[in-house]
Structure 1
C-alpha cells in the first residue's frame, strides 16, 4: 500500500483544540443552534475513527491512492445523515453508519481501478446478472450466458460483456506492498471474493434493512438488545479494545463483547427480575423481524 501523508490524517484538525465533549453533545448543539462550528468540532474529535474506517475500505478494496477521497465520502455520508437526523429518535453515529457506507460504496463503484460502473442502474444490473450467473453454476459457457440473457431480457453479446465485467470485478486485486500504516504484505495477485457484486449487494441490502429496523426501536430496547447479543449500540462492533491488556506493541488487545445474561441486564436497567429483560429483548427481536 502507498504511504498516506500526514496531512490526510489531519484534514479536520483544529488548533487550538475545541472544548472536548461527548460526540453526541456536539451534534445536539449543532441541531439546536444551527452553528456549523459544532459539526467541525465533532469532526475534529471523530477524525481518528474516520481515518481507521477509510484505511479499512482502502485496504479491503485495494485502492491505495484513494484514502483521502474515501475519507471525504464518509464525511459526505455524515452530512447527508445530519440533514435527515431526528435527535429525539436515536444517537447520531449508529444512525449515520448506513449513510457513510452507502457513500463509500458509491465512490468505489465509480472509481475503483480495474472495472468501473458509471451509473447506479448499471451497478444494480451488474449485481443482478452476477447473482443469476453464480446461481446458474458460475461457469463462463455459452449455455450459462444464454440462460442469463434470457432471464434479464438482453442479447447474448451484451450479457456476455456484463458477465465479463463482473468476473473482472470479482478477481481484480492490485499488487500490494507494506508501509508504516499497514501490517502484512501481499506481493502477488489473489482473487478478491469480497468484491463479488452479488455479495456486496445482498450484504448492503441486509445492513440497510437491519439499521433501519434497529433505528425504529426505542432507546431502552436498543441498549438491552445490544447487551443481550453482545455488540456496541453505537458502532455495532462485536469487539472492544481492552486498555488494561496490551500487546507486544503496547496497544490494547481486541476482545469480543460478551453477551450479558438477562439478570445482569435487568439490574442495569432497574428491573425487578430477569423475565422482564427477556421479554423486552424478545419484543425487540419481533419488531426487527417485522421491519425486515
Structure 2
C-alpha cells in the first residue's frame, strides 16, 4: 500500500514536547501534536501537500498537510466527544482518537483521486467519522459484526429515544422487515441497561446525550441484555445451589426464564435466613455478599467485566469515622497486589504501588478503586471487597 513511500522528517521537529515535565499531557499540547518546527513551506491549497506526497512518494508532505489540518481535526473530535473548547477531557484518549484518524487517513491515501472532483480534506471527511466510531466501538463492552451494523444500532437508539414508532421508522429507513427492526431494538434496550450509550442522530452525528439508565453496575440490569447473557449464564451455573438461590431471590430475577420481579418485593435478609435454616439475617447477608463476589470473579474470567479486589491493610479513625486508610488492590483478581493511600477527610489519594496488569498511564483500576473508596461512607469502609466495573 504505502510500502514504496518514504517518511523522512529531516529538518523538522515537533513544535511541542508531548510530555515535557512527566506530569501527563496537557490539552494545549494534545491539540498540537502534529505541529512542526519550522512551519512547512507555504502553498496555495492544502491539497498541494497531498498531491506532492502521492507524486513524490514522500509522506513528509502528508505531515505538512496534518500541520495545517489539525485544528479542523481537533474540532471534529471535540464535536464527537461532546466537549467544548474550555472543558476538561482525557487527553490520552483524545490523542488516541486523533492517531486513529491519522491511521485511517494514511490507509486511504492511495485511494484518493483528484479526478473525481473532491479535495482530500473533503474526501476524508466521512473516513474520519468512521475512524472515530471504530475507536468508540472498540471501547464499548458490546460488539457487532461490522461498522455498518454498529451505525444501525446507534440509529435505532436515536429512534428509540426520540420517536414513538421506533420499529416502523427503522424498518422504513433501512428498507427491512419489522422482525429485523425488533431485533435491533432488543439490542439497544440491552445496551442502555448496561452502560452509558451515546446515540447517533438521523444525520449520523453524535448527539452527546447519555441515554443509559445508570452508569453504575447492577447485576439485575445486565443479566438478560442480549449481549452478555451467555457469559452470565455460564458463570451462574458454576455457583452452588445456595449461592444461586441467594442471588436469584435477592436480585428478584429468575435465571431460567429471565423474568425480573419488582425490586420492592425482593426478600429481606431475615426472610432469606428462614429459607436456609440455622442462618441469621447477618449470616444470610454475608453469604449473599460472598456469592456476589464469586459471581464477579467468574464473570471476570469469562471476560464479561473487569474488577478490582480491595483489602484494607490499616486505617486511622477520628471521631468514630475513618480519617485515612491503606489498601491493597488487585486487578481482575489476579497478579501481585498494588497499594493505595487514602485521606477520607481531604478526599485525596495516592498510588503507592501499581498492581500487576494496571494500565501504566491511565491507572484505570487504581482510579476505580479510589473513586469507590473515597465516596463510600467513612464509617463503613470495607475491609475486603470486589468492585466490578466496565472500562
TM-score (normalizing by structure 1): 0.45
Q: By percentage of residues, which structure has more strand?
A: 2
Bigger-Rg structure (1/2): 2
Greater RCO (Cα-Cα under 8 Å, separation 6 or more): 1
TM-score (norm 2): 0.35
